[in-house]
């Protein structure tokens, strides 16, 4: 029985091959499935009764998710990696050279080897589905596309658009893929198969390929300067040089895969054969690299985090979340409400005044407009999301809510009051979740009727971009309530971790000593930006000062104080944080940021610098010192590691 490729009987000379890997929940390419594809292609090559072949997946939301990562992880030697790369290149070359036209009908994830397969087909159609995503994310696993991706993607869409996909793993939805020329058209999901049939019938009717294509597809619009840049060999070499500098600046040499991808792309300027060879050599070298091993391990951890833990899986599967509400229409609350609405959950957005609610709805409309403009959603999808949100200034309509998420000010008394009101406004089965970042869930639940339905559901700002959600199981939280919170998180596409109930939970508890040490360094260093450089050089996505600005000085200061009150001396906030939180800017409003943008890059806000100098003078401290980058990083990271060990010992999390 076929393992993955299932051909039907031809209809009017058109063969449909269903892609359905029997032993996996998603379609993934392995040595076995490649061998099966090669056998199928050999049969197609000698058939004279076919006018074309359609490839379509039978798994909803999944075309081909890429290579089988478990098989990749099990490769014993570099030579094994080279051989599987060369074999995949050979099979896809045979697909590309078929005389009969082939059409990839893409619905759902078309990633890595899946996209490399689709690019070897003559035509590609994508659908409107929200799960449809095309990309080459291999670099995120510490490897590079090795079945012709570095050759075919620049050929299909041009080097400029191909670079972010190959070097960063950027993905495209159907509309974005069409605008770049990666797919020939985008059609409704239910019309995908018939659209593929129409392509093959039109090709047969007109015979002349260019005439048929002019009838089928609208011409791709590309600016004159982009055509020039993509077609000029010398310019493409300069583009790759510039890309290499950006990669080194971004990765600081920690991740070798993007650099090896550039080597393969540069080889492609000479010939396809050299590029294919560079791909295989890169995969062979990277397969034995320790960074690759750790990135693959991280991938499996992230995949596991997208599903509820084993102990809650059955309950979470039974928890249907169709109606919900968010209390608090600030940036966080509005963002969570939009996430829920985009997933088809009927959501009420509640705040105290019409003005507050209006501000939240304006932020939602702005976000939808931006995402529509970037082709991340269609205008219809934006309208549907907006239709699923109902603004409110009272609690009416919450009796049927499956879950309500509180996202208001980080003050215990205020939260208790709101939860008391929610307990009266909802039914006994409605799960009440707090988005608190530093207070204990059990303290919020104290005195509230049916406290077993109260859990923590901690999103990170901005909620539409940050993948992690902490699900907090307090002492009084029932397994059913935790399962409902997990079910919602899974529906929103988040990576979930279940943590114990303690101030700061896991992430903020680890972050607090890291940020506090940054505050002490801020008063000691002659160049505060050395803190940022050391953190980024270590591998952090941003420095602690930029992170503080993202969170907000006032919020960061409030959380730091809560953590100190809970954990004592080891969470002692650096004195400068309190001074900065209270210090007015220009004598009027509170300071908003530590860093400000200038033409030459970011600089320390002059008001911040003035406060630091004043603090040094008041405390009798010397002027700023110069400290080695490694010393700075140790001071930042070691307290974080120590706190992680304490969390493990306390059972706040169960696994490392």
Residue with token string 């890997």: 21
CA distance 230 to 214: 23
DSSP string, 425-460: HS-TT-EEEE--SSS-HHHHHTT-SSGGGEEEEE--
Q: Which of 86, 138, 406, 470 is catalytic?
A: 470
Distance CA 330, CA 647 (A): 31
Q: Running DSSP on this structure, what letter comes out for residue 625?
A: B
Contact by Cβ (8 Å): 490, 624: no
| DSSP at 253 | T
Tell me whether the omega of the peptide bond preceding residue 462 falls within 30 degrees of 0, making it cis.
Answer: yes
Distance between CA 27 and CA 3 in Å, rounded? 10
Closest CA to 67 of 126, 109, 107, 38: 109
End-to-end alpha carbon distance in the chain: 41
Cα separation of 179 and 184, whole Å? 9
Q: What Rg do the C-alpha atoms of the chain give, in angstroms?
A: 28
For 354-378, b where at least 16 C-beta lie within 10 A, e where not — what string? eebbebbbebbeebbeebbeebbbb
Peptide bond into 339 cis (omega under 30): no
470 is known as an active-site residue: yes
Residues near 475 by beta carbon (within 8 Å), at least 6 away in sequence: 442, 501
Classify 86 as helix, strand or coil: helix
Q: Which two tokens stand for residue 362?
A: 């304006």
* Nearest Cα to Cα of residue 64 among 31, 30, 97: 30
Give φ, ψ of 383 to 5 degrees.
-65, -40
Residue pair 351/329 in contact (Cβ under 8 Å)? The answer is yes
CB contact set of 29 (below 8 Å; sequence gap of 6+): 64, 66, 67, 68, 88, 113, 114, 117
**Closest Cα partner for 454 from 477, 435, 475, 437?**
477
Nearest alpha carbon to residue 470 among 445, 446, 434, 442: 434
DSSP single-letter state for residue 48: S
Beta pairing, strands 595-598 & 601-604: antiparallel
Return all residues near 546 (Cβ < 8 A) that are at least 6 apart: 532, 595, 602
The residue to which tokens 């004279």 are assigned: 48
DSSP 8-state class, residue 189: G
Cβ density class 15-29: b for 16+ within 10 Å, e for less:
bbbbbbbeebebbbb
**Residues labelled as active-site residues:** 470
């Amino acid at each position: 029985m076929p393992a993955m490729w299932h051909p039907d009987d031809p209809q009017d000379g058109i063969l449909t091959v269903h892609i359905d890997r029997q032993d996996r929940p998603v379609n993934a390419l392995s040595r076995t499935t490649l061998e099966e594809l090669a056998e199928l292609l050999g049969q197609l090559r000698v058939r004279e009764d076919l006018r074309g072949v359609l490839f379509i997946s039978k798994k909803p939301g999944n075309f081909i998710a890429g290579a089988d990562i478990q098989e990749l992880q099990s490769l014993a030697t570099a030579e094994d990696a080279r051989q599987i790369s060369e074999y995949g290149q050979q099979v896809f070359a045979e697909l590309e050279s078929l005389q009969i036209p082939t059409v990839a009908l893409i619905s759902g994830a078309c990633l890595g080897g899946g996209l490399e397969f689709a690019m070897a087909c003559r035509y590609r159609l994508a659908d409107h589905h929200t799960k449809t995503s095309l990309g080459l994310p291999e670099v995120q696993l510490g490897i590079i596309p090795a079945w012709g991706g570095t050759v075919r993607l620049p050929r299909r869409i041009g080097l400029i658009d191909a670079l972010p996909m190959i070097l960063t793993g950027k993905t495209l939805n159907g509309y974005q893929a069409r605008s770049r020329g990666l797919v020939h058209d985008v059609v409704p999901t239910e019309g995908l198969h018939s659209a593929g049939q129409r392509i093959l019938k039109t090709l047969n009717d007109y015979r002349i390929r260019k005439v048929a294509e002019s009838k089928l597809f609208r011409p791709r619009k590309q600016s004159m300067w982009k055509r020039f840049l993509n077609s000029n060999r010398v310019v493409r070499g300069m583009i790759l040089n510039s890309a290499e500098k950006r990669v080194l600046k971004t990765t600081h040499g920690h991740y070798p895969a993007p650099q090896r991808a550039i080597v393969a792309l540069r080889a492609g300027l000479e010939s396809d054969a050299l590029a294919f060879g560079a791909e295989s050599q890169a995969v062979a070298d990277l397969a034995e690299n320790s960074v690759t091993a750790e990135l693959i391990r991280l991938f499996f951890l992230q995949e596991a985090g997208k599903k509820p833990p084993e102990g809650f899986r059955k309950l979470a599967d039974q928890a249907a979340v169709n109606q919900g509400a968010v209390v608090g229409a600030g940036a966080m609350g509005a963002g969570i409400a939009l996430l829920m609405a985009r997933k088809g959950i009927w959501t009420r957005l509640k705040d105290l005044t019409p003005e507050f609610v209006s501000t939240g709805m304006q932020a939602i409309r702005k976000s939808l407009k931006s995402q529509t403009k970037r082709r991340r959603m269609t205008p219809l999808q934006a309208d549907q999301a907006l239709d699923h949100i109902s603004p409110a200034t009272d609690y009416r309509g919450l009796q049927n809510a499956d879950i309500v998420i509180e996202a208001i000010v980080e003050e215990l008394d205020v939260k208790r009051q709101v939860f008391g009101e929610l307990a009266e406004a909802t039914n006994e089965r409605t799960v009440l979740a707090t988005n608190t970042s530093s207070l204990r869930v059990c303290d919020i639940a104290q005195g509230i009727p049916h406290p077993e339905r109260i859990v923590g559901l901690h999103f990170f700002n901005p909620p539409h971009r940050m993948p992690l959600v902490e699900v907090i199981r307090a002492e009084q939280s029932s397994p059913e309530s935790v399962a409902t919170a997990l079910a919602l998180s899974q529906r929103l596409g988040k990576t979930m971790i279940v943590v114990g109930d303690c101030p700061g939970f896991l992430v903020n508890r680890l972050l607090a000593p890291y940020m506090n040490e940054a505050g002490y360094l801020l008063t000691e260093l002659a160049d505060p930006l050395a803190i940022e450089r050391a953190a980024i050089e270590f591998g952090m996505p941003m420095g602690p000062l930029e992170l503080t600005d993202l969170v907000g000085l006032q919020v960061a200061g409030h959380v730091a104080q809560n953590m100190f009150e809970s954990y004592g001396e080891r969470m002692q906030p650096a004195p400068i944080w309190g001074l900065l939180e209270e210090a007015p800017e220009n004598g009027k409003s509170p300071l908003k940021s530590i860093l400000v943008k200038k033409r030459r890059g970011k600089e320390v806000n002059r008001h911040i610098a003035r406060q630091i100098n004043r603090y040094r003078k008041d405390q009798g401290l010397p002027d700023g010192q110069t400290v080695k980058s490694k010393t700075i990083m140790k001071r930042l990271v070691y307290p974080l590691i120590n706190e992680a060990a304490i969390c493990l010992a306390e059972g706040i999390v169960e696994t490392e």
